[in-house]
Structure 1
Amino acid sequence: MSAHLSRREALRAGAILLGASMTATFIGCSANGAGPPAAAQVGTSALDELAARLRGTLLRPGDAEYEARSASANGRYLGTRPIAVAQVADEGDVATCVEWSVQNGVQPVARGGGHSYAGFSTTTGLLIDISVLDSVQINDSDGTVVLGGAASNRAMLAASADGPFFLPGGTCLAVCYGGLALGGGIGFNTHWAGLASDRMTATRMVTAGGNVLDASNSQHEDVFWACRGGAGGNFGINTAFTFALAEVPRHPITHFDINWSGADAAGAMLNAFNILSATAPAAFNADAYAQATEIGSGGPEAAIQVNTHGQYIGPADELRDLLAPVIAAAGQPDSQNITEMGFWDAQRIFATDEQPSHSWGDISRYASEPIPESAVGELVDLLVACPSRSDDANGSIWSLGWVGGDVVNAFGRTETAYVHRGMSTLLRPTTVWPNDAPASVGNDLNQWTDAVIAAIAPHTPDESYQNFPNRALTNWEQQYYAENFDRLVDVKTSYDPNDVFRNEQSIPVRR
């Protein structure tokens, strides 16, 4: 077994960055992902040619850094390896890699941080490692930032910390803004500062033809629209972004972390939290979860860890008033910490480092209103019956309360490619297990996830977050993009008519 890893650690490191078919069963594949596709057939001479054309480095199987550079963050996809990893030196190398891939019939896949939940930053073709494109250039005079395509949460936090401006994003320090913003970009500041994609004002992209274009509301407007929520791996390789920054709150904010235990507290807290999230002011930014833990003398009902955690852009007494119904419903907490502090101090608390390699399953469902108390009761019953309850193999149910509100809803559903406006929470059953666990462990946890989604789905819109992709969704077109899907197909057909950039859930070309 791998090192111990709690589900709370795994999710907060993942990217905090969710109908016809509502299940997530991995039919025909093991818990550790589908069998890898056949490797591309390319001769040594062709790879030698690419290596000679690059200013960067081409890693091949057997090279010292190949294993580390080609591995997926999600252990389910460790079996999928590229014919080579191109560690680019600059944007020109990215264009060279795309041109070479097209000429040699090889699938090009870009990777910044490698955190695609569904392994879409893995390939048996050419993996284009753009991690060198990590620059951060903040312009205090106009409140903007230009980020390289692989600039991470860590880089942005380091560059902006203690300054007057902030870019909303995730909490896992290793996750890159490219993947985050292309799919929307939610996190602990979304409720008051908006989505990362809504703050995007321009992007620079290498196209399927190996050309470089700049897209904004004044040029290549159609692909710019698509890049604000249409997800990565679809239209090209984004090498840079410009964002409008938010002003950091000048007054202290309040950070909070409150814990309970037991099934009764889980149901009461989740129900009260969902009600609060539907009406909370923009200043309230929080999540809540309940996790099945190792069974002790109190039985499975007692072995449920319960938590709500977040920040309030304002004083502690106002936050306590907001949280009072949650605490009254869930009962006396096992522990609570409600502390006023500076904005940047809170962001450092939210930031999490990369966790040891592990496998996980994830799926999400937006809610436009609190789900019924009876449905929450079903979820708690499923937690009690969770098939794995150890430190490193378990299931949890999350409610992310920062995904809606007036700031997010200031944009219409078709104004950008991010369609999920008018939502109050994002509900997430999540699972984690060691990479070396028997296949039955992951399969059982995936079936548990199916049951959780089946309980949630009748009470929610048929929409899920495209940055938490799940390969088993058969109606992903509706769930990720809804009424924006047809326009995304038009953009794809215009900019990548030969479907060079593709994966199992990429936007298709119109035939």
Structure 2
Amino acid sequence: MRLGIGTNGTTRAQIRANANVNAIGQFYGTVQELRAVLGPLLNIGTAEERARNSASVRQVTPGEASELLSATTPIERIATKSAMPDSRTLLTDRQVGAAAERLLEWPGSGNEDGAGFAMFTLGGEINRVAPDATAFVHRGDLFVFAAETSWADYDRPGVADANLRWLDQFYGDIFAEGTPEHSYQNFPDPTLKNRQDAYYGTNYPRLVQVKRKYDPDRLLQLPAGDRHALSPNGAGHIG
């Protein structure tokens, strides 16, 4: 499941009107079983909202489910800052409240994907693998957290810079008590300090050895990028 808050729009009125809490995910079972699990949530809101949310629970094929989930990844120009919450560092009410307040101050853009934060669930089978068994070290964490903002090539000058400043404030408000120890390497952040430890932890030295052995000429290299041109599908830098 992916849980998040977000908004989009170009004016203050649109940004406030479009602010929302959202959840999207896959459940392996019957629609009736899922409705029972989601019952308390489906009973929240106006009659129109309850009907719309109830109708959004439906049975699809695995292929259709993959398409639905892929639609949550922003496109065009985006920037992200991530964290890897575990059972000790789950977001508190204060942090969620700070995020909601700052979300309403988003400067806006022409990108319909807008801004907000998303939390992708881990745990389960993912956490049964040892941290040093693969390159992915975050085996004890429960979520991938991503704070995101987006803009479009055709936005007026200054929109990108305003979005990047907002993202720093948004992330800073959420983690006002300290920068998270770990980050997710598939959401690269050029401003991240100690990125080797944050992305790869104790696996980093071994990954450097593998990189030097199989790519001695550094064919696979993440260039020193322009923060105005980040891709949602980038990869963390090694070595």
TM-score, length-normalised on structure 1? Answer: 0.38
Distance in 1 between residues matched to 2:179 and 2:36, nearest whole Å? 28
Any idea what SS the aligned residue of 1:364 has? strand
How does 1:15-30 map onto structure 2 within 5 Å?
none
Distance in 2 between residues matched to 1:499 and 1:347, nearest whole Å? 33
How far residue 452 of structure 1 moved from its aligned partner, in angstroms, is 2.2
Choose from 442, 465, 488 the match for 2:184: 465
Distance in 1 between residues matched to 2:57 and 2:66, nearest whole Å? 15
Any idea what SS the aligned residue of 2:158 has? helix
Q: 1:344 to 1:436 in 2, by over 3 A?
A: closer
Which residue does 1:388 correspond to in 2? 108
Distance in 1 between residues matched to 2:15 and 2:217, nearest whole Å? 53
Distance in 2 between residues matched to 1:366 and 1:327, nearest whole Å? 28
**Aligned residue type for 1:395:** A
**Aligned residue type for 1:423:** D
Structure 1 position 397 matched with structure 2 position 112: no
CA contact under 8 A between 2:8 and 2:113: conserved in structure 1?
Answer: no
How far residue 326 of structure 1 moved from its aligned partner, in angstroms, is 3.9
Alpha-carbon RMSD across the aligned residues, in angstroms, is 3.1
How does 1:362-377 map onto structure 2 within 5 Å?
362-369=80-87, 370-377=90-97
Q: 1:368 to 1:325 in 2, by over 3 A?
A: farther
Determine which structure has the larger strand proportion and give its number. 1
Which residue does 1:35 correspond to in 2? none
**Aligned residue type for 1:323:** L
Q: 1:425 to 1:431 in 2, by over 3 A?
A: same
How does 1:151-230 map onto structure 2 within 5 Å?
none
CA contact under 8 A between 2:82 and 2:147: conserved in structure 1?
Answer: yes
How does 1:50-89 map onto structure 2 within 5 Å?
none
Q: 1:499 to 1:349 in 2, by over 3 A?
A: closer
Distance in 1 between residues matched to 2:97 and 2:64, nearest whole Å? 36
How far residue 465 of structure 1 moved from its aligned partner, in angstroms, is 1.6
Q: 1:494 to 1:433 in 2, by over 3 A?
A: same
**Rg larger in 1 or in 2?**
1
CA contact under 8 A between 2:8 and 2:112: conserved in structure 1?
Answer: no
Q: Which structure 2 segments of 5+ residues have no match?
A: 225-235
Any idea what SS the aligned residue of 2:26 has? strand
**Aligned residue type for 1:464:** S
Choose from 302, 309, 321 the match for 2:24: 309
Structure 1 position 331 matched with structure 2 position 62: no
Which residue does 1:409 correspond to in 2? 127
Any idea what SS the aligned residue of 2:197 has? helix
Any idea what SS the aligned residue of 1:371 has? coil
Which residue does 1:455 correspond to in 2? 173
How far residue 366 of structure 1 moved from its aligned partner, in angstroms, is 1.5
How far residue 485 of structure 1 moved from its aligned partner, in angstroms, is 0.9
Any idea what SS the aligned residue of 2:149 has? strand
Distance in 2 between residues matched to 1:296 and 1:426, nearest whole Å? 30
Distance in 2 between residues matched to 1:393 and 1:413, nearest whole Å? 33
Any idea what SS the aligned residue of 1:306 has? strand
Any idea what SS the aligned residue of 2:107 has? coil
Any idea what SS the aligned residue of 1:502 has? coil
CA contact under 8 A between 1:389 and 1:395: conserved in structure 2?
Answer: no
**Aligned residue type for 1:377:** G
CA contact under 8 A between 1:419 and 1:481: conserved in structure 2?
Answer: yes
Deviations 1:379-412 (CA, angstroms, capped at 9, x unpaired): 00011111115554832221222xx122101111
**Aligned residue type for 1:506:** H
Q: Which structure 1 segments of 5+ residues have no match?
A: 1-285
CA contact under 8 A between 1:371 and 1:460: conserved in structure 2?
Answer: no
Distance in 2 between residues matched to 1:323 and 1:499, nearest whole Å? 49
Mean CA deviation greater in 457-466 or 361-370:
457-466
Deviations 1:405-428 (CA, angstroms, capped at 9, x unpaired): 221011111111101112222221
TM-score, length-normalised on structure 2? Answer: 0.76
Which residue does 2:237 correspond to in 1? 506
Determine which structure has the larger helix proportion and give its number. 2
Deviations 1:77-119 (CA, angstroms, capped at 9, x unpaired): xxxxxxxxxxxxxxxxxxxxxxxxxxxxxxxxxxxxxxxxxxx
Distance in 2 between residues matched to 1:485 and 1:415, nearest whole Å? 13
Q: 1:462 to 1:351 in 2, by over 3 A?
A: closer
Distance in 1 between residues matched to 2:169 and 2:39, nearest whole Å? 32
Any idea what SS the aligned residue of 2:96 has? helix
Structure number with the bigger relative contact order (C-alpha 8 A, sep ≥ 6) is 2
Distance in 2 between residues matched to 1:361 and 1:474, nearest whole Å? 16
Which residue does 1:89 correspond to in 2? none
Q: 1:297 to 1:482 in 2, by over 3 A?
A: closer
Deviations 1:316-337 (CA, angstroms, capped at 9, x unpaired): 2332233234446x63472212
How does 1:91-490 map onto structure 2 within 5 Å?
286-294=1-9, 301-327=16-42, 331-332=45-46, 334=49, 335-336=52-53, 337-350=56-69, 358-369=76-87, 370-388=90-108, 390=110, 392=112, 394-401=114-121, 404-457=122-175, 458=177, 461-490=180-209
Distance in 2 between residues matched to 1:391 and 1:506, nearest whole Å? 27
Deviations 1:155-211 (CA, angstroms, capped at 9, x unpaired): xxxxxxxxxxxxxxxxxxxxxxxxxxxxxxxxxxxxxxxxxxxxxxxxxxxxxxxxx
CA contact under 8 A between 2:3 and 2:23: conserved in structure 1?
Answer: yes
Q: 1:438 to 1:478 in 2, by over 3 A?
A: farther
**Aligned residue type for 1:318:** E
**Aligned residue type for 2:213:** S
Distance in 2 between residues matched to 1:480 and 1:297, nearest whole Å? 36
Distance in 2 between residues matched to 1:439 and 1:362, nearest whole Å? 20
**Aligned residue type for 2:145:** L
